[in-house]
Amino acid sequence: MSAPPPPPPATARNALVVIAVVVTGAAAHWMGGIIAPLLLAIFLSIMVDGLSRAILSRAPNLPPRAATSTAIVASTLLVVFSVVVVATNAEGFIATLARDQPKLDILLAQAAARLGPHTPKSVAQLLGRLDPMQYAPAVAQALQNFGSAAVLVLLYLGFLLASRHAFERKTVRLFGTREARHEALNVFLRVRDSIERYLWIQTVTGLVIAVGSFFVMMVVGLDHAFFWAFLVFILNYVPILGAVAGIGLPALFALLQFGDYGHALEVLGGTFAIAFVVGNIFLPRMQGNSLNMDPLIVMLSLAFWGAIWGLPGMFLSTPLTVLSMVILAQFRGSRWIAILLSGDGDPLGASTEKDVVGG
């Protein structure tokens, strides 16, 4: 009997892993219209499942189907509430912009006096130079894509929830031995718990920042304070850039509304102070080592997934990176990538070599 062929050298294995990552990224970008809505639906189903288990933990006598139905209804109401908030505030927001156009003309005139004669001195000149009609097809296409993606997400979510009971039977047939099923279940639970913890932390911290920002904007007298606070809450799910936008956009609107830098600085300073305290005091205590991701990797993942799928990729960047890190850590050939992605060099959390699949 001939001896088995020697395993490929480590350099060749690592090169294959890098090539596989590049090819996977290219395929994900090419199929973004299908994959991104599916992933959004998967994460929504994880949220529904987590909410269902939370309901069962507080009402153990409630049937599981009733808890799942309650979680679905609650999630649907939250989505409807979000749509209503945006729809009811959009008209007033546009009317406020039209009302404050003279103030914006003054600010543009002041900027033109400092920057030079080629700077537009009014909104009419600015829009004339921008020629907004040339962007109309792109805006229409973006709105159409958003509507199609929302429909796909809801369809995927419905089918995922309907087929969840068949997952256990598929797992039994997919993994022949008890050890293999146990290992696959551990990986799934680790991924699910990490994503749920991340979503829970972002929800709580985003709510605290949004409530604090709302009171700051109310004290200053900023119009549409509730809408801005809601926007701050939503943007908190986008790492780094979401916090910057949530701080900067209300301040810019305050500059437009009041026409002076004093009120804008008050909004900017207040929202920044709240975000700084929450992000540097409360967030580390809540987060601990739950994500175990290097901060540089968080930024790079935001840029990577944003380049592949745009805004949906930014929302999914951290959960997808956590998912990739846990899966890559299961195999010796790709474990070095998981180590680089992790914050402390131990992507499995006090793991041992026997937890890693060879190959």
- Residue 99 pLDDT: 66
> In angstroms, rounded to a whole number, what is the distance separating the alpha carbons of residues 113 and 256?
18
Instruction: Indicate the helix (H) or strand (E) that contains 236.
Output: none
**Digit-coded pLDDT (tens) for 250-295:** 888 888 777 777 888 999 999 999 988 887 777 666 665 556 677 7
**Digit-coded pLDDT (tens) for 174-225:** 776 778 777 777 777 777 787 888 888 888 888 999 999 999 999 988 888 8
- Which amino acid appears at position 190 of this protein? R
- Residue 127 pLDDT: 47
- Residue 355 pLDDT: 47
Q: Please spell the DSSP secondary structure of 275-298, one letter per residue.
A: HHHIIIIIHHHHHTTSS-B-HHHH
> In angstroms, rounded to a whole number, what is the distance separating the alpha carbons of residues 39 and 157?
10
- Residue 130 pLDDT: 46
* 46-50, 67-71, 92-96, 156-160: the lowest-pLDDT one: 92-96
Question: What is the value of pTM for the model shown?
Answer: 0.72
- Residue 216 pLDDT: 92
pLDDT for residue 133 is more than 60: no
